[in-house]
Amino acid sequence: MKRFDVVTLFPEMFSALTHNGVTGRGEGRGIYDLVCWNPREFTDDPRRTVDDRPYGGGAGMVLTPSPLVKAIHTAKCRQLSTGVKLSKTIYLSPQGRVLNQQLVEELSTFDGLVLLSGRYEGVDERVIEESVDLEVSIGDYVLSGGELPAMVLLDALIRLLPGVVNHSESVVDESHSSGMLEYPQYTRPEVFNGRRVPEVLLSGHHDDIRRWRQEQSLGRTRQRRPDLLKTEGPN
């Protein structure tokens, strides 16, 4: 079983993963477990304060180090107690390594992951220096916090786990799994608003269908995401 622990001020958000779709079924089947840790539970003051003004001035507030480090430590101890031997702590940050399928597959080799979701203007840098192994970004834009990026990463990871997706071919064929975008998909009816399903998909000739899909995948990638195609040198 894979172990995922998330340090977050909004643990209720992660029920979207554990209660819905293939990720919900995976949790129900015992393929992975997900535990959330609220930093407010690791504070020492009655108001359960987790943020403070930044040194040097500036807008917004910064998450203080002590509750975060304590929460991360507790998450790591939980994983160790359940037999996790290989784990990594990740901070979801716009300054991190950009998430792609290659990184998802790299992270899927770990027995457990601890994810830190930031809020406000971020976290005290000393938390990253002391407790974080890797920073990961899901793109060059600003969000309200790290919960959505953490869920994106978890969704991508969970669907790779054996038994989560009913048809393993679905995972292999999806966009980016092969390094290219996925080919177009069609279902019934054969004609919709005057648009027909390509004849090759109705032919029953599996080799022809496979070639057509490869051509479509390559064409779409070249047109929409040429950056994904590896440039080959001269022979």
The pLDDT, as a whole number, for residue 166 is 73
Whose CA is closest to 101, among 167, 157, 17?
Answer: 157
Return the amino acid letter for 70.
K
Distance of CA 57 to the CA centre of its chain: 33
Mean pLDDT value of segment 145-174: 84
β-bridge mates for residue 34, sequence order: 4
Residues 72-102: pLDDT tens digits?
999 999 999 999 999 999 999 999 999 999 9
Tokens matching residue 100: 């792609």
Residue 195 CA to residue 20 CA, distance in Å, equals: 33
Q: In this predicted model, what pLDDT tens digit does every residue of 39-54 receive, in sequence order?
A: 999 999 999 999 999 9
Q: How many CA atoms lie within 13 A of 110 on its CB side?
A: 21
Q: Which residues pair with 7 in a beta bridge?
A: 37, 116
Are residues 41 and 73 in contact, defined by beta-carbon separation less than 8 angstroms?
no
Q: What angle do CA 144, 147, 148 make, to 5 degrees?
A: 80
Residue 233 pLDDT grade (very low, low, confident, very high; cuts 50, 70, 90):
very low
Alpha carbon distances (Å) from 175 to 23, 39, 86, 139, 220? 19, 36, 28, 17, 11
What does the alpha-carbon distance between residue 146 and residue 50 come to, in Å, rounded to a whole number? 15
Which tokens sit at 85?
A: 């031997």
Q: What is the pLDDT of residue 176?
A: 47
Q: CB of 171 within 8 A of CB of 177?
A: yes
Whether 198 has a pLDDT exceeding 60, the answer reads yes
Cα–Cα nearest to 184, from 206, 216, 223, 221? 216
Give me 189's structure tokens.
Answer: 């009816």
Q: What angle do CA 89, 177, 133 make, to 5 degrees?
A: 10
For the chain, domains (ranges, CATH) are: 2-158 (3.40.1280.10), 175-228 (1.10.1270.20)
Nearest C-alpha neighbor of 4 from the set 69, 75, 105, 102: 75
Rounded-to-integer distance, Cα 154 and Cα 181, Å: 21
Largest CA distance in the chain: 70
What was the pLDDT predicted at 179? Answer: 80
| Band of residue 174 on the pLDDT scale cut at 50, 70, 90 | low
pLDDT tens, 100-125?
999 999 999 999 999 999 999 999 99
